[in-house]
Amino acid sequence: MPASERPFTLVAELSYQCPLHCPYCSNPVDIGHPRYRHELGTDDWIRAFGQARGLGVLQLALTGGEPMLRRDLVELCAGARDAGLYSSLITAGTLFTAGRARELKEAGLDHVQISIQSPVADENDRIAGNRSFEKKLAAARAARELGFPLTINCVLHRQNLDRIEELLELTVELGAQRLELANTQYYGWAVVNLEALLPTWEQLRRGEEAVARFRDRVGPAVDVLWVLPDLYEDLPKPCMGGWGRTALVVAPNGDVLPCQAAATIPGLEFANVREHSLEWIWNESDAFTRFRGTGWMQEPCRSCPLGRQEVDFGGCRCQALRLAGDPAATDPVCRFSPHHEHVVSVRESAQTGAKAPPSEAAGFPQFVYRAIKRPARV
């Protein structure tokens, strides 16, 4: 196998359960479906970690839902260390207490990423659908006291983009060395809430400028990742670094997907780690081979005037399905797609109606909160 075809990252979605209800959650909209109820056991996960390393994986993302809800998380971290993986815990932070953090550190967890929904407490709690802000700050401090490298992650959208300056300051105050400013990508729950989330050009421009000023001032001590939302681009991104090219996602039930949203594509068959090795799944399974490389491409990708077939790999298959009705179509974000007009009209429609300042929550469309059960009011 040529080295370029080896995966680098295993995304382990340990559970879809979560105390938060973020309206842009990347988990499937049908997280309550019975197929997700039978979660993998400790041994299944640890076996998968070993197989992943053999396949070339170096980075393990322990995510969810909320990975802290797994009672065997300490064992899983030790398993990751023994397999030789660099492990990151992607958590909302509410359950990351000093005591549990110490156990995870001792078990070999390498890195902690804590999500913050807004740098303003009541806005954070409203977006998360859960009173969580103070617990998140306590979690970040606990991580730093134990010497974990800390990343703060904030998913950006219309209702928090104007808070970037405060968020950058909070990141410094918490001693984080990375800040991921991930503009919402429109899959899963974010599609349900698109109108309430899609920002204006003006908000994105101001955000980008704030990031540039911060980088000039702070230098490499804090690494700020800033990713534009797809819908604001005219050429697609290489979704997941290319289909079946850099990453594997294992869902809580053991199904292995090329990306977190791939379950939305009808007709794709996902092999399960309970029945197959990751090596077989990576090399042979339907889900991983269907859109790998460039052979599956249609026009205009096939004769791309910019020769970008191996730059963007046709963009996102889930977005192609959603906006063009065909998962094998060119991602309509691309200006050469016959469906690009749809992307243009969606973003044009977002340019009005965002006059209210972010503190006036009543001025925004209401969220449909991510839920397995209905969340409590906050």
Q: Based on CB atoms, which residue is closest to other proteins, 11 or 197?
A: 11
- Which range of residues in 98-106, 220-228, 241-249, 282-290 is near other proteins by CB under 8 A? 220-228
53 in contact with other proteins (CB under 8 A): yes
Under rule CB under 8 A, residue 245 binds other proteins: no
Ranges within 75-94 binding other proteins (CB under 8 A): 84, 86, 88
Q: Does 277 bind other proteins (CB under 8 A)?
A: no
According to CB under 8 A, which one of 71, 99, 216, 221 is a site residue for other proteins? 221
22 φ, ψ (degrees, to nearest 5): -55, 130
Is 133 an interacting residue with respect to other proteins (CB under 8 A)? no
Q: Which is nearer to other proteins, 34 or 220 (CB)?
A: 220
Q: How many CB atoms lie within 10 A of CB 201?
A: 12
Among the listed residues 105, 131, 178, 347, the single contact to other proteins using CB under 8 A = 178
Gap between the Cα atoms of 188 and 260, Å rounded: 9
Percent of the chain as helix, strand, coil, to the nearest 5: 40, 10, 45
Residues from 93 through 122 that contact other proteins (CB under 8 A): 110-111, 113
* 6 touches other proteins by CB under 8 A: yes
Q: How far apart are CA 112 and CA 102, in angstroms?
A: 12
**Which residue type does 213 have?**
R
The backbone region for 93, taken as left when phi is positive above 0, alpha when psi lies in -120 to 50, beta otherwise, is left
Of 23 and 244, which has the nearer Cβ to other proteins? 244
Residue 303's SS3 state is: coil
**Contact by Cβ (8 Å): 210, 166:** no
Distance between CA atoms of 281 and 227, rounded to whole angstroms?
A: 30
* Closer Cβ to other proteins, 179 or 333, answer by number: 179
Query: Of the two residues 88 and 130, which places its CB atom closer to other proteins in the complex?
Result: 88
User: Which CB atom, from 59 or from 200, has the smaller least distance to other proteins?
Assistant: 59
Among 50, 108, 149, 238, binds other proteins (CB under 8 A): 149
- Check residue 54 for interaction with other proteins (CB under 8 A): yes
Cβ 37 to other proteins shortest distance, Å: 30
Pairwise CA distance, residues 73 & 87, whole Å: 12
Provide the 3-class DSSP secondary structure of residue 90.
strand
CB of 87 to other proteins, least distance (A): 10
Q: How far is CA 108 from CA 13, 81, 82, 101, in A?
A: 19, 6, 9, 11
61 binds other proteins (CB under 8 A): yes
The order of strands in the sheet holding 111-115 is: 223-227, 178-183, 150-156, 111-115, 86-91, 59-63, 9-13, 247-250, 256-257
β-strand pairing of 247-250 with 223-227: unpaired
**Size, binding site for other proteins by CB under 8 A:** 27
Element spanning 44, H or E: helix 42-55
Footprint on residues 248-267 left by other proteins (CB under 8 A) = none
Q: 110 or 312: whose CB is closer to other proteins? A: 110
Contacts with other proteins by CB under 8 A lie at: 3, 6, 8-9, 53-56, 58-59, 61, 84, 86, 88, 110-111, 113, 147-149, 151, 177-178, 219-221, 223
